[in-house]
Chains A and B, each alone.
Chain A
Amino acid sequence: MGVAYKIEEDQAQTTTYREALFRCMRGALADHPETFILGQGVDDHKGTFGSTVGLAEEFGAGRVMDSPLAEESMTGIGIGAALNGLYPIQTHIRADFALLAMNQIVNMAAKYKYMFGGRFEVPMLIRMVIGRSWGQGAQHSQSLQSLFAHVPGLTVIMPATSDSILETYPWIIENHRGPVISLEHRLLYDIAFRGDDARPENSPLSSRLLRRGKDVTIVATSIMVLEAKRAAEHLAETAGIEAEVIDLHCVSHPDRQMILDSVARTGRLIVADTSWQAYGVAAEISRIVCEHDPSILRAPIATLGMAPAPCPTAKTLEDLYYPTLRSLADTAARMVVGEEDHGVTLPEEASMADVYKRFKGPF
């Protein structure tokens, strides 16, 4: 199986994450009259990093609404609109800002259905962008999936490719009657994907097996899925180590069976997440395996995530802060060979941001 994305070539046959988002936003407005987009700057010339550009002109200010700087009420207004027949798509240009909406997300959106005995539904999509690199710093870079996925009543996804977006967003808007939080990674926006990944068979609100391998299972989220695939290619080429790669995708409702089957085959598990490990995706996937049957593991689980600190801005520190292709390959090699000194040549690449980010800041 080849790498499913290309950074420079094949532009004609590829779709960028940004284009995929734009297509879904436009499609939602065109196909579903009850949808509307509400967010800060959704109608401006930059249009939420290009994902909503021109849509206000095409569909009118009532369908693509600029929002006051008022995250809590905007979320609450989205909920109320959903309760009365509309489908809101909300945007936060950084996930960090959604913390101001936590009351409405956690106490209201997640509760309306259950707390009232199933009498209400709150169908809505809340898009949040995770920032990274170029000095985003402590308050423009947080990857908050586990905060949301912790709360019953919320569905949390982290689309890792253009395909994920194209499969999941229209499906959610048509079929899913509850609140969905989608965490979109800023570094993915400019990446062109070829779109040859296997498609999920049922609901796209699940996980995806992207690469088969017999030696180690890597469960990854968001941009770490790309790193996992690159690490797998490298390990296969240089050391004959075959990693199986699972894109967790639906963080709140992962495909447990897929993960357990995979780990039962490989006997080894690495979780590579975009966030902190403690109490997060890494901890949760480990829980799933350990509660099921720890004896399927031939080696202790390894996890990769952000350093347990707020994000620094200096590039020297930021490069240490995030897990890299190199640290992932190193972890996998160590685990499979079974020794610190595994002898596998590691890929020569320090900073993911240098590879993925194609514009020079600022946002």
Chain B
Amino acid sequence: MTFANPHEQLFYEALRIRRAEERIIEIYPTDRIQSPVHLSIGQEAIAVGVCHPLRIEDPLFGSYRSHAFFLAKGGSMRSMFAELYGKATGGSGGKAGSMHLTAPEVGFMGSSAVVASTIPNAVGAALAAQRRETGQVVVTVFGDGATEEGVYHESLNFAALHQLPVLFLCENNGLAVHSKLSDRQAYGICEHAATYGITTQRCREGWDFVRVNDLVGQAVEAIRRGDGPRFIECRTYRYQEHVGIGCDHDVGYRPRGPLEAWQANDPLLNEPALVEAFDPAIRDEIDDAVQFAESSPWPGPEQLLADVA
């Protein structure tokens, strides 16, 4: 696939993620995907904007909400669907499911279901990168809720103290499950991170993959130069429920207004010509991946005790 400009390329990648998750929504009621899914629909622009400026060997650590980052970092569609199906051909041989996607071959490292738990792992990988002079920039992606965990603070401190090559990337969707940020936090996320002496930037237009890409590109360049850690907070909006495939604007904890405002800016909903141009290739890739997952074997009993210690 060739693209006329970066906007089109990022658009394609974001659309690919959205269509993949929409396919998950279609398949889910059949119970062929028996894995808790945390969808990124509405948040894809961040994943593609962050991953585009990265090199393959730059490790990125994510959370349970990682379909978007897995794909944006270069993880294979087949590997992801097979993993969601629990098949032996999945990226982790069917032992990981949706919440622990990984693709180390493209630098997509651990993703964990325990909030904030991969943040120090990313910092440690950055310590190794610095020590071994690998030239890698490590990225840790986490939600606004994760910034409430103690280990997040510990990790910021260590990264700043040792000037490690790590980008802290906060996807602020304003929610932790159903709790809104203002009910949970007495601090400003960027203001707080800045107290460690880390250069912070805020992107309010989290739908705008080009803007995210530019911001992250500059930050990554600075980090690679040896300027130490950087911090970027991207505002974003989660369209679906926290976990699962449904919509939940009717249950009373959040109003519809912000959803509509966000959707009015969402490129994937407002550029039908690009959608029309890109959809067929994307559909083919997803069809192929689903077919692959369906026809793949289950892991055998010999896998039960393989790779324990």
Interface residues of A (CB under 8 A from B): 34, 36, 62, 68, 70, 72-86, 88, 103-104, 107-108, 112-120, 152-155, 178, 252-253
Contact = CB atoms under 8 A, between A and B. Distances in A.
A104 B117 contact: yes
B167 interface: no
Contact of A62 (B112, B131, B136): B131
B121 A83 contact: yes
Nearest to B126: A80
Tell which of B91, B161, B307 has the most Cβ of chain A within 10 Å. Answer: B307
A76 B124 contact: yes
Contact of B92 (A72, A107, A117, A154): A117
Interface in B66-123: 90-96, 100, 102, 104, 109-110, 112, 114, 117-123
A305 to B, nearest CB: 26
Given A79-B120, A80-B121, A83-B124, A73 B95 contact: no
B95 A117 contact: yes
Given A76-B155, A80-B120, 20 more contacts: A68-B158, A73-B119, A74-B120, A76-B124, A77-B155, A80-B122, A80-B138, A81-B128, A83-B121, A83-B128, A84-B125, A84-B138, A86-B128, A88-B124, A104-B120, A108-B114, A113-B309, A115-B100, A120-B102, A155-B309
Contacts of B59: 83-84
11 contacts: A68-B154, A72-B151, A73-B154, A73-B155, A73-B157, A84-B134, A108-B112, A115-B95, A115-B100, A117-B90, A152-B308
A103 B117 contact: yes
Contact of B308 (A68, A86, A104, A153): A153
Given A68-B157, A73-B158, A107 B307 contact: no
B308 A114 contact: yes
Given A72-B150, A83-B125, A77 B120 contact: yes
Nearest to A73: B154
Tell which of B91, B119, B131 has the most Cβ of chain A within 10 Å. Answer: B131
What are the 10 closest A-B residue pairs judged by CB atoms, nearest first?
A80-B124, A76-B120, A73-B154, A117-B92, A117-B93, A84-B128, A77-B124, A118-B307, A70-B154, A80-B121
Given A72-B150, A73-B120, A103-B117, A119 B128 contact: no
Contacts of A253: 309
Nearest to B113: A107
A80 B118 CA distance: 8
A119 B102 contact: yes
Tell which of B120, B125, B154, B158 has the most Cβ of chain A within 10 Å. Answer: B120
Contacts of A80: 61, 120-128, 138
Contact of A113 (B112, B161, B307): B307
A254 to B, nearest CB: 14
B16 to A, nearest CB: 23
Contacts of B129: 84
Contact of B110 (A88, A116, A178): A116
Nearest to A110: B309
B306 interface: yes
B131 A36 contact: yes
A72 B149 CA distance: 11
A328 to B, nearest CB: 32
Interface in B182-210: none
B307 to A, nearest CB: 4
A76 B119 contact: yes
B256 interface: no
A112 B127 CA distance: 19
B160 to A, nearest CB: 11
Contacts of B128: 80-86
B90 A79 contact: no
A72 B102 contact: no
A113 B157 contact: no
Interface residues of B, number: 45
A70 B110 contact: no
Contacts of A82: 124, 128
A152 B305 CA distance: 10
B295 to A, nearest CB: 19
Contacts of A85: 128, 132, 134
A303 B16 CA distance: 61
Contacts of B102: 116, 119-120
A153 B120 CA distance: 20
Contacts of B110: 83, 108, 112, 116, 120
Given A70-B158, A72-B150, A76-B155, A117 B132 contact: no
A301 B118 CA distance: 44
Nearest to A75: B120
Tell which of A34, A120, A152, A178 has the most Cβ of chain B within 10 Å. Answer: A120
A253 B114 CA distance: 28
Nearest to B124: A80
A116 B95 contact: yes
Contacts of B151: 70, 72-73, 76, 103-104
Contact of A81 (B92, B127, B306): B127
B113 to A, nearest CB: 9
Given A107-B112, A117-B90, A76 B95 contact: no
Nearest to A122: B121
B177 to A, nearest CB: 19
Given A68-B157, A107-B114, A117 B91 contact: yes
A154 B120 contact: no
Given A75-B120, A117-B90, A86 B127 contact: yes
Contacts of A68: 154, 157-158, 161
A114 B158 contact: no
Contacts of A252: 309
Contacts of B124: 76-84, 88
Nearest to A67: B158
B66 to A, nearest CB: 12
Tell which of A84, A86, A107, A108 has the most Cβ of chain B within 10 Å. Answer: A84
